[in-house]
Amino acid sequence: KKKKPEKKEAVSYRYDVEGAGPNASKNVKAPWDGVLKKKKKLADDQTLLEIEHDNGLKSQMVFNGGLSKNLTGHKVQAGETLGFLSNEAKSLYWTIEPAQKTVPE
């Protein structure tokens, strides 16, 4: 008999940009290894990135800024720079949830 998977909840974080200015660290980096599944431009110059990680989790990051290069569909390494925050950016929003795995029948 198959066990029903437990319902896991998403967890969201907000990181406030410290020391705004030209010398502040403005890079957006991959938290874990995985594949960049989606990149989307939102209103107000915001970018949404979605990464499916090798550890079974999925990250969504929303921030004011853009991508360093288009890596959609490509493997990314933990710590790899994916994009950058604009000078106007105040926060980065990061949501982590279990990736939806499709099970072959």
In whole angstroms, how far apart are CA 4 and each of 7, 8, 56?
9, 12, 17
pLDDT of residue 9: 84
In whole angstroms, how far apart are CA 95 and each of 10, 14, 21, 26, 62?
7, 9, 26, 19, 9
How many helices (DSSP H) and strands (DSSP E) are in the chain?
0, 8
Closest CA to 59 of 44, 87, 78: 78
Q: What is the pLDDT of residues 15-39, one digit of tens each?
A: 888 765 555 568 999 999 999 999 9
What pTM does this model have? 0.80
Q: Is the separation of the CB atoms in 43 and 60 below 8 Å? A: no
What is the bridge-based pairing of β-strands 11-16 and 91-98?
A: antiparallel
